[in-house]
Every structure is written in C-alpha cells, then in structure tokens.
C-alpha cells in the first residue's frame, strides 16, 4: 500500500515536469522566436519543396518553403558571410504566410535550400544580416521583411536543427525512462 502512494507521488511529479516542459515550449513559440535551417527543419513547421517558385524568383528549380504563423511583410533578407562578405543566403518573405529559403549552391547542391543561382529579381523591400559561425539572427521592425505585430525574431542556420518531432520523441523517451524506474 505504501509503495502505491510512492508510485502515485512520483507519477504526479513526472506529470508536473511534463506539463512544465509543454508550457515552456508553448510559451517560446508564442514569443515568435522562429528558427529555420537549410535542411527543412524549423521550430514552427517543417519546410517543404515547391516547384515552381511561387514568387518567380527561381522558376525552374524546387525551392524550400516554410509556412509562417502570420502573413509577414513581403521582402528579401540578404545574408552575407562574415568571413568573405559574399552573399550566402536569401530569405524571401512573400507576405502571404510563407518564407522561402534560398541558399547559394556555389559549392554544389547539397541541402534542400540550395539553388543554382540567386532569385531574380530581388524584391524592393530589402534588409541585410550577417552569418556568424553558421547562424544569422534577424529581428524585423515595422515595414521590413518578415515583420508582424507579434514582433518575431528569426534565426537562420546552415546546420540541421532538431525538428519538433525529435524534441517530442526525446520528451516521450524521458517519460518512459521515468515510468520504468517507478515500476521497479
């Protein structure tokens, strides 16, 4: 009988920890801190290839597109490499709930975001960012590309980010470990 009470207490604690993790994850998404990488992973929804480019930037190539949780202001974010100063990536906000990730395919087509040439034309509303160590951070202001009243902050990455599914699987695995320990 006493063992059942201990198991119930531990199960309740595990439930509280799980709920806390869910709350923190939900809160961070509501803060609109959005992360996107060249491989189709994001902190919001996974990216998907689209052909042809709906904005006409690279019409003869599959481009990597992400859905956004808001419409966003249309325009292009040009990301320059810190080491060389070369244009590396272009992030296009179409103003219609989408972000298109164009990455330079100069060293070969390796990631889903790689394109053989930059989109043309570059949209009239342009901002610049710098890639430092494989990451570029961008917080738009009113009227600039990607802006929304929710004040989003973006992080763009050259390296694969863990997908939402991987994070959920990790949490589920931790809960299973806790459950097995409780049953012993």
Q: Which of the two residues, 28 and 39, has the higher pLDDT score?
A: 39
Q: What is the mean pLDDT of the chain?
A: 82
**Encoded tokens for 132:** 């430092």
Q: Which of the two residues, 136 and 21, has the higher pLDDT score?
A: 136
Q: Average pLDDT of 39-60?
A: 92
**13 pLDDT higher than 80:** no
Q: Average pLDDT of 59-65?
A: 94
pTM of the entire structure?
Answer: 0.70
Q: Average pLDDT of 65-77?
A: 97
Percent of the chain with pLDDT over 90: 59
**Which one of 66-80, 94-108, 163-177 scores highest in mean pLDDT?**
66-80
Q: How confident is the model at residue 24 (pLDDT cuts 50, 70, 90)?
A: very low
Listed by start position, the domains of the chain span 2-183
Segment 114-172, tens digit of pLDDT = 999 999 999 999 999 999 999 999 999 999 999 999 999 999 998 655 544 444 455 55
Q: Average pLDDT of 73-91?
A: 95
Please tell me the predicted confidence (pLDDT) of residue 180: 66
Q: Which of the two residues, 177 and 90, has the higher pLDDT score?
A: 90
Q: How confident is the model at residue 105 (pLDDT cuts 50, 70, 90)?
A: confident
């Amino acid at each position: 009988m006493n063992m059942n009470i201990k198991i119930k207490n531990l199960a309740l604690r595990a439930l509280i920890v799980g709920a806390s993790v869910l709350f923190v994850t939900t809160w961070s998404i509501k803060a609109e801190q959005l992360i996107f990488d060249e491989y189709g992973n994001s902190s919001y929804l996974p990216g998907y290839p689209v052909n042809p480019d709906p904005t006409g930037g690279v019409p003869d190539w599959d481009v990597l597109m992400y859905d956004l949780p808001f419409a966003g202001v249309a325009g292009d974010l040009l990301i320059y490499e810190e080491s060389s100063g070369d244009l590396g990536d272009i992030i296009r906000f179409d103003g219609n709930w989408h972000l298109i990730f164009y990455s330079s395919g100069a060293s070969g087509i390796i990631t889903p975001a790689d394109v053989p040439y930059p989109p043309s034309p570059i949209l009239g509303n342009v901002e610049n960012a710098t890639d430092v160590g494989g990451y570029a951070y961008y917080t738009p202001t009113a009227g600039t590309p990607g802006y929304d009243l929710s004040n989003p902050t973006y992080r763009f990455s050259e390296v694969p980010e863990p997908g939402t599914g991987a994070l959920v699987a990790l949490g589920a695995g931790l809960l299973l470990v806790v459950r097995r320990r409780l049953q012993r």
